[in-house]
């Protein structure tokens, strides 16, 4: 039984809180995640496809993609407060129906950092699994998806192949002394959330 994690984060930033008496600070690095981008005719995607044609692929849902891109989620020098948070939507896709035991296994999203001024477009150096120069791993966000097992939905891609997808959101709080992450999902018309375990790898 194989799985495929399709990361299509849709960056949604909540309105900034008035600074007032809140303690504000600047982000010290470009924080990002691995990103599998949908191929379209935008200038950036056309350029990336030209740079690394071997990086093109197809997602489980049949859409053409290119990976692995270093997707910035918090920019260096960006001013944040203790309440600053950003929400990203993810879809976890399975090529076959997963068991509840498989859903309980840790599913991880890794956060990286780049300390320089101009972050790379690509997460990895070409033809390797080595991080691009200057990129370092910060932490893993560990997700137990068994709590949203009932949200699995059967799908069929354009090739007539059946797969299953489960959508959820990650809300990251950057303004605390350490990163804090919550998983959010929808049940009928209600939204639920759960605090996730963050496993540090290097100093933020």
- Strand duo 30-38 + 135-143: pairing: unpaired
Q: Where are the domains of the chain?
A: 3-35+76-119+135-200
What whole-number distance in Å separates Cα of residue 142 and Cα of residue 120?
25
Q: Which two tokens mark 154?
A: 């059967």
Q: Which two tokens mark 204?
A: 């933020």
Q: What is the mean pLDDT of residues 119-147?
A: 93
What whole-number distance in Å separates Cα of residue 124 and Cα of residue 2?
23
Confidence of residue 202 (pLDDT cuts 50, 70, 90): low
What whole-number distance in Å separates Cα of residue 92 and Cα of residue 164?
8
- Say which residues have a Cβ less than 8 Å from residue 81's Cβ, sequence separation at least 6: 16, 17, 19, 22, 23, 24, 175
Between 175 and 74, the higher pLDDT residue: 74
What whole-number distance in Å separates Cα of residue 67 and Cα of residue 39?
10
Confidence of residue 10 (pLDDT cuts 50, 70, 90): very low
């Amino acid at each position: 039984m194989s799985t495929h994690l399709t990361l299509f984060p849709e960056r949604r930033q909540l309105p900034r809180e008035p600074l007032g008496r809140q303690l504000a600070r600047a982000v010290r690095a470009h924080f990002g995640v691995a990103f599998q981008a949908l191929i379209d005719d935008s200038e950036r995607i056309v350029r990336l496809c030209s740079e690394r044609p071997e990086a093109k692929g197809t997602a489980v849902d049949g859409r053409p993609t290119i990976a692995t891109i270093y997707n910035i989620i918090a920019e260096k020098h960006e001013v944040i407060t203790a309440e600053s948070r950003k929400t990203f939507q993810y879809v976890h896709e399975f090529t076959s129906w997963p068991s509840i035991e498989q859903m309980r296994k840790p599913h991880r999203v890794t956060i990286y950092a780049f300390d320089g001024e101009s972050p790379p477009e690509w997460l990895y150096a070409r033809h390797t699994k080595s991080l691009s120069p200057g990129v370092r791993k910060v932490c893993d966000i560990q997700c137990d998806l068994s709590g949203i097992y009932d949200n699995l939905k059967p799908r069929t891609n354009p090739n007539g192949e059946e797969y299953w997808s489960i959508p959820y959101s990650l809300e990251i709080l950057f303004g605390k002394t350490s990163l804090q992450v919550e998983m959010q999902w929808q049940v009928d018309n209600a939204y639920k959330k759960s605090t996730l375990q963050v496993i540090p790898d290097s100093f933020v």
